[in-house]
Chain A
Amino acid sequence: MAAGELRPEAAVEVRELAAFFGSRQVLRDISFEMPRHSVTAIIGPSGSGKSTLIRTINRMHEVVPGARHTGSVLVDGADVYGEGVDPVDVRRRVGMVFQRPNPFPTMSIYDNVAAGLRLNGIRGPKAQLDQIVEESLQGAGLWREVKDRLATSAANLSGGQQQRLCIARAIALEPDVLLMDEPASALDPQSTLRIEDLMVQLKEQYTIVIVTHNMQQAARVADFTAFMTTLEEGAPADLVEFDRTDAIFTNPARTETQDYVTGRFG
């Protein structure tokens, strides 16, 4: 499919992106657009630079010593690496949820959600904060389960609940984009399906980019799918194919994609 046929409104646009750890190049010439209010899944074998790719979107890649990139990343049309752009501001607008739920264990459920706001210097009357916490927990599908124990420790929640708490913490900041790096791979099947349902709901308000090893998960929830892999031994990873998810899983254009999604690579 030609780029022009995709939904025109790109929330995230990656242009000729390359990424390095020291002298080792891990990504090369990655260009594609992640459309607004959709779920884009990034699939590919281990070591194909999927996590590195999404970490360049919210400037977390550069946190690793020696890590650098070339090319550009645009969120809502603005270069996140532009002159004078504060990485902290980028990370507020581009939220991230990780593989292992990482709530602050010593904090209460309430404070976990409010923490993002406080860390970003957002202060206001208690009533306003209460409202944001409630809305975020509702948005993450957790409110009904925790509303009577907001002051208790987040450590007592189940894995699936903790992951939804992390989603609540991320959306409390009203980001434009939500990056999810294997958000369900540490969860049981039922909690996984809840997170998947949540993604479909959340895309109404946010643009979601998910890295997943679970191809069926990509097939179930993503509107668009990007397949990344290393085409030659030792070479940096390429974006092999990006298309609507149904095209990737019914009639992929590239043999490499077909071999991967049908489980016949290697």
Chain B
Amino acid sequence: MRDALQHQLDRLQTLLVEEAALVREALAATMQALTDTDLQLAAKVIDGDDRIDLRFMQVQQGVESLLARQGPVANDLRLVLAMLHVNTHLERMGDYCVTIAKLTQLTSRLEGDEEIVRGFAEMAVQAELMISTAIEAFVTQDIAASESLVQLDDAINQANRRVVHDLLALGTTPDHREWGLRMILVSRCLERIGDHAVDVGEQVAYLVTGEFREFTDASGEPVTLD
């Protein structure tokens, strides 16, 4: 029953999975470019964002058509609404990868700190894991997996706080200050990617339970259901 609706839902889900895979690739590449100061690779990440944006547009248009023509209700409706949010979160993650690539270009002539960059690489590995966990939890509608994103995000948040401290200790030459300022943005981008992954997890919980809730409050403390 409702083959057309099911077909369209499946197609949208496939597009989101592809979009998430592209975001993961972009994240890995942009970190590689930063670590190796590889400007060609950084440029490739920037160009490659079009592929993410294309999926974003396809999902957006697909949802628009589906709402207009299929009139989804109940769990179908929640799935479509959640897809809209997940789509936006993935697209934003892609944008953060682009920002990191641009920061790599801007800092290529400056001397940086290998230790700090290694810290970013570790944050990025964690963020990649979060992207995979989030999209898998979405596809399998696994609330427990989606809730595990909060713990994964904690590690990124802690690393982000350490980076500021390390950058301040780096030195006060103009080059150090510029590199440090730009690297604070890199850290911020990675931290935001983690936040968006948690937001995808919240959509999983909404999809399954029908109730939207934030996993953490503004202070970062877990929100418990009363």
Question: Are B76 and A262 neighbours in the complex by a CB distance under 8 Å?
Answer: yes
CB distance from A219 to the nearest CB of B (A): 7
Say yes or no: A262 contacts B78, CB within 8 Å.
no
Q: How far is the CA of A263 from the CA of B4 in the complex (A)?
A: 12
CA distance A262 to B2 in the complex (A): 8
Decide yes or no: A264 and B1 within 8 Å by CB, A219-B73, A252-B74 being known contacts: yes
- A residues 230-266 near B (Cβ < 8 Å) are 248-252, 257-258, 261-266
Residues of chain A lying within 8 A (CB to CB) of residue B5: 263
User: Taking A250-B210, A251-B78, A251-B210 as contacts, is the C-beta distance between A261 and B1 under 8 angstroms?
Assistant: no
User: How far is B129's CA from A259's CA once the two chains are assembled, in angstroms?
Assistant: 35
B1 and A251 form a contact (CB under 8 A): no
Q: In this assembly, does B72 line the interface, its C-beta being within 8 Å of a C-beta of chain A? A: yes
- Residue on A nearest B209 in the bound complex, by CB: A251
Which of these, B73, B78, B210, contacts A261 with CB under 8 Å?
B73
| A-chain residues with CB within 8 Å of residue B1 when the two chains form the complex | 263-266
CB contact between A258 and one of B2, B71, B75, B211 (< 8 Å): that residue: B75
Contact A263/B2 with A250-B210, A251-B210 known, Cβ cut-off 8 Å: yes
Q: In the bound complex, what is the Cα–Cα distance between A261 and B75 (angstroms)? A: 10
Check if B57 is an interface residue, CB within 8 A of chain A.
no
Residues of B within 8 A of A257 (CB): 74
Known: A250-B210, A251-B210. A261 touches B2 (CB 8 A): no
**Bound Cα distance A258, B76 (Å):** 9
Complexed CA–CA distance, A262 and B78 (Å) = 12
Q: Is the C-beta of B77 less than 8 angstroms from some C-beta in chain A?
A: yes
CB neighbours of B78 from chain A (8 A): 250-251
The distance in angstroms between the C-alpha atoms of A37 and B154, with both chains bound, is 51
Give the chain B neighbours of A264 by CB distance below 8 A. 1-2
A158 within 8 A of B: no
Q: Does A106 contact B (CB under 8 A)?
A: no
Interface status of A216 (Cβ within 8 A of chain B):
yes
Are A249 and B77 in contact, CB atoms less than 8 angstroms apart? yes
- Chain A residues near B75 (CB, 8 Å)? 258, 262
Interface string of B17-32 (1 = CB under 8 A from A): 0000000000000000
Chain B residues with Cβ below 8 Å from A265 are: 1
CB-CB contacts of B167-206 with A at 8 A, as 1s and 0s? 0000000000000000000000000000000000000000
**What's the nearest-Cβ distance from chain A to residue B223, in Å?**
20
For the complex, give the distance between the alpha carbons of A262 and B77 in Å. Answer: 9
Q: Across the interface, which residues of A come within 8 angstroms of B76, CB to CB?
A: 262
What is the CB-to-nearest-CB distance from A184 to chain B, in angstroms, rounded to a whole number? Answer: 17
Q: What residues of A have a CB within 8 angstroms of the CB of B77 in the complex?
A: 249-250
5 A-B residue pairs with Cβ-Cβ distance under 8 Å, sorted by A, are A216-B71, A251-B210, A262-B73, A262-B74, A264-B1
Instruction: A219-B73, A257-B74 given; name 11 further pairs at CB < 8 Å.
Output: A216-B71, A249-B74, A250-B73, A251-B74, A251-B78, A251-B211, A261-B74, A262-B2, A262-B76, A263-B5, A264-B2
Chain A residues within 8 Å of B, Cβ to Cβ: 215-216, 219, 248-252, 257-258, 261-266
- Residues of B participating in the A interface, judged by any CB pair closer than 8 Å: 1-2, 5, 71-78, 210-211
